[in-house]
Amino acid sequence: MNILVTGASKGIGKIIAQELQSLGNVFVTGRNENALQAFDNYFVCDLAKNINPLLEYIKINKIDVLINNAGEYIYKNLEDMEQKDIERLYQTNLISPAILSSAVIPYMKEKSWGRIINIGSISGVMGEAYASIYSSSKSGLIGLTKALALELAQYNITVNTINPGWVETELGINSIEDSEFTKEEVLNCIPQKRFVKPEEIARLCKYLISDDAKGITGQAINLCAGLSVGI
């Protein structure tokens, strides 16, 4: 099994890559070469700038499990965002996952087996004020997941999205600091009164890859400590 995890230099992606090493060959990509060197197989790439070299890397290594984890977040009024930032977020969060999925599908069809797992966000389910581009990009990822799952179901290829809520990572903590809320206020809005741990997301990825999950496809799974249900 050849697994590619994007955005694996830190946070959720790094933990996912570590968790999946027992399943086969794990290939990772990200922007920080020093951080990626913790893995045997890595490829330095900025998905918002030039994705083409990574597509060649995928062809060579015949990826049959794709984890689209890389993502960017900006907390700002839409009218105050620069066009380059809007384009970068959509490119990283939605366009690149679509392009990478397109690249791995031929080999998955040839093998009659494959797994595509997109790491979305609860913000793509519920919407988040002052994060409209992030929210809409993650919402688009859910739509991509549902449609692509239908296209690929007959080939024994599953496509799913995991939507984390607030996660205990550097990005999660930084996004709180960038917002108008305190950590305590955020925790108070979460029914379980805790942040999701990246290990929970990694283990869910591992399950979705397994044969036990072969009937799960086209789903948007909210792993959010109850945040999507209400307060």
Question: Per-residue pLDDT tens for 106-157?
Answer: 999 999 999 999 999 999 999 899 999 999 999 999 999 999 999 999 999 9
3-class state of residue 19 by DSSP = helix
In a domain, 41, yes or no: yes
At 222, which amino acid appears?
N
Q: Classify residue 16: in a domain, yes or no.
A: yes
Whether residue 229 lies inside any domain: the answer is no
Please report whether residue 82 resides in a domain: yes
d(CA 145, CA 220): 8
Return the number of other C-beta atoms located less than 10 Å from residue 28's C-beta. Answer: 27
- 218 in a structural domain: yes
What are the pLDDT digits (tens) for 18-37?
Answer: 999 999 999 999 999 999 99
CATH number (domain holding residue 211): 3.40.50.720
Q: Is residue 172 part of a domain?
A: yes
Would you give the DSSP letter of residue 9?
Answer: S
Sheet holding 114-119, edge to edge: 41-44, 25-30, 2-6, 65-68, 114-119, 157-164, 220-223
In a domain, 228, yes or no: no
Give the separation between CA 167 and CA 181, rounded to whole angstroms. 15
**Overall number of domains in the chain:** 1
Catalytically active residues, by annotation = 134
**Domain containing residue 60:** 2-223
What does the alpha-carbon distance between residue 43 and residue 156 come to, in Å, rounded to a whole number? 28
Say if 181 falls within a structural domain. yes
Q: Where are the beta strands (DSSP E) in the chain?
A: 2-6, 25-30, 41-44, 65-68, 114-119, 157-164, 220-223
Tens of pLDDT, residue by residue over 150-199, are: 999 999 999 999 999 989 877 666 666 666 677 788 788 889 989 999 99
